[in-house]
A and B are shown apart, each in its own frame.
Chain A
């Protein structure tokens, strides 16, 4: 299958380069990067500093961790793309050739090097290798999909893939068969390549290729998927190789700790404390206000706060963890001392002064050695620090409760602090079962702030990267505080709610009070064919989620835009394909319509209903066959902007008609 004779092979010379050359003068010329995308076959041979080595590794790790978080949270491909866009731009930008950016060369070098740095860091165990390969493949896929079409083509052409373009001679010999086999319609490019059928089992399974004596003739549109598969395959075999070479890496004692730190960071990606986490400028943070703010604290700190209030005492590591956190949110040293003094109400002043005062001052860098003073004391602990330090023992309360508590006790603790949603707790239980502690914490955060997050997103109040995964307790507090005070902190420029008035709500149709025995209700999904991803997520996804949860069935058409996005969304949410029926209009005169491709849907397990007629007839049938609509009609103003000169006053879209038809049907029913 592999046309290049060697899998990514690190030969002895290059291995040596990897080990040492980063720090010495490069013996090899810097590589060129003619393409934005990279298969990372050849290890880097140029010169990087130890700092770059670590910094670039961490940046890529951040990207991979966010990608993984998307997956843990079941984001759809479109949601993932949207979520990742600002994160990629910030941590691992990769410009196209056409952008003519002066950064292109450096960006690509960083991309190349950081990939290899992590490859080394994660090649030690099978688990890490698999995880890394999975995430890198996702990243590759995400990027190649976003690539400029021309540049993508030239990248793919440059790959030493084990396929061969079908010659014109062969093409003309099999043309009809090729077209019939690959579902190639008039408007499609008449271009195919061939490979061993074992390389494309999923296409064979769906009869989307022409087979001849074990060779599969594949339409070019499938190329990208194959490139991604090949990337994944090569990376996996490359990682295995690296795994075998790793022991020798230990020889370089300067690299070892960096690599160790990076692989540690895969447990929970590390985040440094940012000064900006302090809210002292915008909020009045003092000893007396901590009780009030503690509602915004992450569970680790809320737990310490509750224990402190309950026992009027905390053990050493708990005090340290909490003190640093309070310092981080902007509590100054004097107020901090006051806070602890009041909290230890059973303690004499003398004992407090002799045993605790010094430690607090030390934490703030008020006392201690030069280094401590210069560094203004200790830095507040990150999630990673809390997740990797030794577990607390008898009576100690520090650390991350998602990790240190047994699942049952954790659930009780969450319920005690007011987290009671069953589904949410179920998700938390799953997360901690899989040791995804920071995901559990983020899950709780998102649930507690879901309305505010929605608002921020819908109104683009914050840069999207400000809503990434939380990896630091102080970041948790800051974000919680800002979200809960959106109205007060904004300049007052808060938009009104979007045009949701046209949406027939599933709630009105009995989603919440549905008797179990009844046949599931059927939602008719319709909408504009030129809807954007953003509009879809704004106007459909939460509606659909409600309907999915309620166990309803769905019908939709084959139209582009809303229907297609909805179909993919439903499937991505794990909706059984048999719960979805695709309605296909088959014009009475087939010459006027395209071919009816039922198999495209049935092959995916979807139900198909063919309506003889045009889409108008189809829609009538669909309204009849359903109980309510999930649709969105674009407001008139927006339509004007979108259509420009083509805009016609009084034009009624199919979606609007669906809505009106439903209203009419309902009133007729009522009249009876």
Chain B
């Protein structure tokens, strides 16, 4: 690479980055003796994510080893997508080194996790895990500052890193503690994971790891519903939605009140939001009527999507076998018999027409024993079944769960896990998200074009990320972090003032 490493002035300028001596380096063996390879990881008391990583490791399909390592059990995948060698391209150490050195916004990430400009336990006692080639995971890493995290990433070039909770003591020191219960997670953002695989029973356009703009709409619907509930019902404000790099999205809620929730409260939020739990096709949702206001609001939000994105675009009941799914959701034998007869005789009726058939036949009266309200309920249930968010709730329910950091590179697609701007959620195009290799080319291009006409001084003021299509995402993220820090500052001043009075 021809160009010099850019100075990253904003982090170099802070004093704490230059004074810390015990910077973990590769030679030092970061995390002390915790060079956790998979076998060790299993012996650890607290290694759920690593345990899953093991499953991933034995998965023949490279495509499966993807962003969801940190979520619950490995997912079934029917995709016949070939295991492309492309993944090695994106996790090529030199590419990653460039990325971590020049593009990854460590400083804002640090502030976002630290809730203050100066390092405090929110960040310094946080667990990070590094995913290294060959599916090695180093858990319980911790860093005294943004710069040291960055330095470690540049040196070790992990394929990705994940963020865990703040622990009661520095994760590095966990083995020196006599009383095992003294090492416990005490704070983490509330997180959500929405994954397209959970939509395989209802999407028709793709399956497995693939997505397209049609099925991406399911993620859009889920984000809308969850975001509305988090803001309106729980009053959370600092919500960051992040594209997971391939086929899903994560949410990180940084409000103090959310961060301090214990597991029972995380479970309460997850279950409040979850209605399709363990629901196989053909079973009733068991929702009570009148609908809980959260569900009523969600339904209202989702109804237009049901008509367009589901009925029109997915056409989920087109074939006879597919239509069977719909019939199974109708609790009236005479009605389903009549519908079946009708659809058998005219095979090419679309899902849209079939949906109308359900209504008109049921209303015809003689064919159905369903009352008007029952019919309404059944139709509501079906709409929810096909639109309501499918959450991977396990990720949400425990404080010590790790989740992939925003702004890391997805090893399968090379795409950066960028934040999603809620103000233009509908416009977010997962296929327009920058790919790591393109970004590095963009820097070179900028240097040759815009940069060529600038004075050396002016040029040195422009940081590498500002030369790339990552710019808008990082700026959005910085704005998010700034508003979070502002709120934190308020809280802190408030507390200090109180202290003065006494």
Interface of A toward B, CB cutoff 8 Å = 176-177, 179-181, 183, 197-198, 201-202, 204-207, 210-215, 588-590, 595-602, 608, 610, 612
B272 near A612 (CB under 8 angstroms)? no
Within 8 A of A (CB), among B208-238: 232-236
Contacts of A179 on B, CB cut-off 8 Å? 290
Residue of A nearest to B264 (CB): A201
Cβ-neighbour of A590 out of B267, B296, B373 (below 8 A): B373
Cβ-neighbour of A589 out of B272, B284, B293, B371 (below 8 A): B371
Residue of A nearest to B279 (CB): A602
B268 near A183 (CB under 8 angstroms)? no
Say if the beta carbon of B287 comes within 8 Å of chain A.
yes
- 28 A-B pairs with CB atoms under 8 Å apart are A177-B293, A180-B296, A181-B293, A183-B288, A198-B261, A201-B265, A204-B268, A205-B268, A205-B271, A205-B272, A207-B272, A207-B292, A207-B295, A210-B293, A211-B294, A212-B232, A212-B235, A213-B233, A215-B235, A590-B374, A595-B288, A598-B286, A598-B288, A599-B286, A599-B288, A601-B286, A608-B286, A612-B369
Within 8 A of A (CB), among B258-299: 261, 264-265, 267-269, 271-272, 284, 286-296
With contact pairs A180-B293, A211-B234 given, residues A597 and B288 touching in the complex (Cβ less than 8 Å): yes
Contacts of A214 on B, CB cut-off 8 Å? 233-236, 257
Give Cα distance in the complex from A598 to B285, angstroms.
Answer: 9
With contact pairs A197-B234, A598-B287 given, residues A180 and B292 touching in the complex (Cβ less than 8 Å): yes
Residue of B nearest to A206 (CB): B271
A198 near B232 (CB under 8 angstroms)? no
Nearest-CB distance from B140 to chain A (Å)? Answer: 28
Chain B, interface residues (CB within 8 Å), range? 20 to 34
Give Cα distance in the complex from A597 to B232, angstroms.
Answer: 26
With contact pairs A180-B296, A197-B234 given, residues A204 and B269 touching in the complex (Cβ less than 8 Å): yes
Contacts of A601 on B, CB cut-off 8 Å? 286
User: Which among B265, B292, B294 has the greatest number of chain A C-beta atoms within 10 A?
Assistant: B292
User: Which among A179, A197, A601, A610 has the greatest number of chain B C-beta atoms within 10 A?
Assistant: A197
Residue of A nearest to B261 (CB): A198
User: Which among A201, A590, A595 has the greatest number of chain B C-beta atoms within 10 A?
Assistant: A201
Known A212-B233, A596-B289; further 12 A-B contacts with Cβ < 8 A: A177-B293, A180-B290, A180-B291, A181-B293, A201-B265, A204-B268, A207-B272, A207-B294, A211-B233, A596-B288, A600-B288, A608-B286
Nearest-CB distance from B362 to chain A (Å)? Answer: 14
Contacts of A198 on B, CB cut-off 8 Å? 257, 261, 265
Contacts of B236 on A, CB cut-off 8 Å? 214
Contacts of B374 on A, CB cut-off 8 Å? 590
Nearest-CB distance from B294 to chain A (Å)? Answer: 7
B291 near A204 (CB under 8 angstroms)? no
Give Cα distance in the complex from A197 to B266, angstroms.
Answer: 12
Contacts of B261 on A, CB cut-off 8 Å? 198
With contact pairs A211-B234, A214-B235, A599-B287 given, residues A181 and B268 touching in the complex (Cβ less than 8 Å): no
Nearest-CB distance from B372 to chain A (Å)? Answer: 9
Nearest-CB distance from B279 to chain A (Å)? Answer: 10
Contacts of A181 on B, CB cut-off 8 Å? 292-293
Cβ-neighbour of A205 out of B233, B267, B293 (below 8 A): B267
Give Cα distance in the complex from A204 to B265, angstroms.
Answer: 9
Contacts of A612 on B, CB cut-off 8 Å? 369
Contacts of B268 on A, CB cut-off 8 Å? 201-202, 204-205
Contacts of A588 on B, CB cut-off 8 Å? 369, 371
Contacts of B269 on A, CB cut-off 8 Å? 204
A598 near B284 (CB under 8 angstroms)? yes
Give Cα distance in the complex from A197 to B232, angstroms.
Answer: 13
B272 near A204 (CB under 8 angstroms)? yes
Cβ-neighbour of A595 out of B233, B289, B331 (below 8 A): B289
Give Cα distance in the complex from A213 to B392, angstroms.
Answer: 24
Contacts of B271 on A, CB cut-off 8 Å? 205-206
Give Cα distance in the complex from A176 to B292, angstroms.
Answer: 10
Residue of B nearest to A213 (CB): B235
Residue of A nearest to B371 (CB): A590
Contacts of B292 on A, CB cut-off 8 Å? 180-181, 207
User: Which among A206, A211, A215 has the greatest number of chain B C-beta atoms within 10 A?
Assistant: A211
Nearest-CB distance from B251 to chain A (Å)? Answer: 17
Which 7 pairs, one residue from A and one from B, show the smallest C-beta to C-beta distance? A214-B235, A211-B233, A213-B235, A201-B268, A598-B286, A602-B286, A205-B268
Contacts of B289 on A, CB cut-off 8 Å? 595-596
Residue of A nearest to B291 (CB): A180
Contacts of B331 on A, CB cut-off 8 Å? 610
Residue of B nearest to A606 (CB): B286
Nearest-CB distance from A412 to chain B (Å)? Answer: 36
Contacts of A595 on B, CB cut-off 8 Å? 288-289
Cβ-neighbour of A213 out of B232, B284, B286 (below 8 A): B232
Give Cα distance in the complex from A198 to B267, angstroms.
Answer: 12
Give Cα distance in the complex from A179 to B265, angstroms.
Answer: 24
Give Cα distance in the complex from A99 to B241, angstroms.
Answer: 61
Contacts of B286 on A, CB cut-off 8 Å? 598-599, 601-602, 608
Residue of A nearest to B231 (CB): A213
Nearest-CB distance from A130 to chain B (Å)? Answer: 14
Residue of A nearest to B373 (CB): A590
Nearest-CB distance from B472 to chain A (Å)? Answer: 31
Residue of A nearest to B260 (CB): A198
Give Cα distance in the complex from A599 to B235, angstroms.
Answer: 26
Nearest-CB distance from A254 to chain B (Å)? Answer: 36
Give Cα distance in the complex from A180 to B232, angstroms.
Answer: 17
Residue of A nearest to B233 (CB): A211
Contacts of B284 on A, CB cut-off 8 Å? 598, 608, 610
Give Cα distance in the complex from A180 to B288, angstroms.
Answer: 9
Contacts of B294 on A, CB cut-off 8 Å? 207, 211
Give Cα distance in the complex from A597 to B271, angstroms.
Answer: 18
Give Cα distance in the complex from A302 to B32, angstroms.
Answer: 60
Residue of B nearest to A601 (CB): B286
Contacts of A204 on B, CB cut-off 8 Å? 268-269, 272
Contacts of A201 on B, CB cut-off 8 Å? 264-265, 267-268
Nearest-CB distance from A193 to chain B (Å)? Answer: 18
B230-259 near A? 1/0 per residue, CB < 8 Å:
001111100000000000000000000100
Give Cα distance in the complex from A94 to B47, angstroms.
Answer: 52
Residue of A nearest to B258 (CB): A214
Nearest-CB distance from A207 to chain B (Å)? Answer: 5
